[in-house]
Every structure is written in C-alpha cells, then in structure tokens.
Chains A and B, each alone.
Chain A
C-alpha cells in the first residue's frame, strides 16, 4: 500500500481511527500497533484548557514521507498511517494517530515508536497551550 500521511482539520475520533486500522491491515499482518496522542489537561504544572495546533502542511507531509521510507527500509513494511490533526482540540481529543502493521509484533512496536518519536523531532507541527493563566506556543 501507499502509506497514509496526512495533516487534517477533521476530528480523529473512534471511527476515523478504525478506518485507518482497516486501511493499514492486511492478511499477512500478525501485529498491528496503533498509537494515539491525546490532549492532556496539564503541562508543566499548568492546567491546560485546550490546545491549538498549526503546521506547515506541505513540508509536514514531506517529512512524514521521509519517516515512512525509513520505516520501510528498517522494518520492511509500507503498511503505515500517520495522521496529525491541526486546529483547536479539547482535553481528551486525539491529536495524532500512527498505525503500523507487520508480520510480527516486535517490529510493529518498534516501527510505531520510531514513527512517533521522529515525527515529534522533525515534522513541522506547532502547539499552542491555552491554560487558565494565559497561552503560549510551546516545544515538545
């Protein structure tokens, strides 16, 4: 399959995650790992009200393609989805979903971990924390 690599404004709700899992799954897959990043109600001792994400969408999708190529090189799978939502997100909403399918669980876990860690380090996506005592664009 061609990896699904997307920046979207649409909610990543249970139905959207399910659709990604179905798209990535294949008959030879024995391990399928899904990572969901979720908006937390606190950060550095602050009470977070909501988050606002922004991105450089064309470059973000290009950087995701670099990650997908490395996943294929190292773990031999192109059954991968990486979707990051932008815009305002409330506590408990999903901001990012990564799904990887492989013949066995070990490589599926490793590839998924690599994909989310590298996304955080290289993909131009930005986060504003709106807390009870103010708002700021933050790293990490």
Chain B
C-alpha cells in the first residue's frame, strides 16, 4: 500500500522534504513507519520519539493501522500561540 508522509518543523528540516510517498506492507502501522523513518533519517532520532501521530489529519494512537492512500504525519511538540 502507498501512504503519504508529511513533514513539518524539525522533521521537515531533518528530512529536507515536505512530504514523501512510502510503499509499505499491508500490515504496517504508524509504529512501523516511525521505526522506518528513524532508520532512514538518523537526524530524526531526537525529535521522533517526542512526536504524536496524525492519520488523515486527526490524532490517533501510536500503533494505529494504516490503509492505502492514507496521509500520515508525526506531530512534534506544539508551539502555537
């Protein structure tokens, strides 16, 4: 399945991208992707463990299941206001 990953703030800077499409096995979860990104982008090591998970623009649990066409983002600590 194909999942669109979006990057913001420190994650955008660490990956050098706004987004990318990942081709994942059908049993992949948000936790799978977090581990995969940590391996692919060592510079994410510091921020990734502190991120919440957003699936299709809503907060979900860290182990949420994924489906083809989903949009996934790791949300770093919030700084609005």
Measured CB to CB, the residues of A under 8 A from B are 37, 53-56, 58-60, 62, 84, 95-96, 116, 119-128, 137-140
Contacts and interface: CB of A to CB of B under 8 A. Distances in A.
Given A56-B54, A58-B57, A140 B8 contact: no
B16 interface: no
Nearest to A126: B9
Interface in B34-63: 47, 54, 57-59
Contacts of B79: 53, 125-128, 137-140
A126 B8 CA distance: 8
Nearest to B6: A56
Contacts of A95: 81
Nearest to B56: A59
B73 A56 contact: yes
B78 A139 contact: yes
Contacts of A58: 57
B10 interface: yes
B57 A119 contact: no
Contacts of B75: 56, 124
A138 B9 CA distance: 10
14 contacts: A37-B81, A53-B79, A56-B8, A56-B75, A96-B80, A123-B78, A124-B54, A124-B80, A125-B78, A126-B9, A126-B80, A137-B77, A137-B79, A140-B77
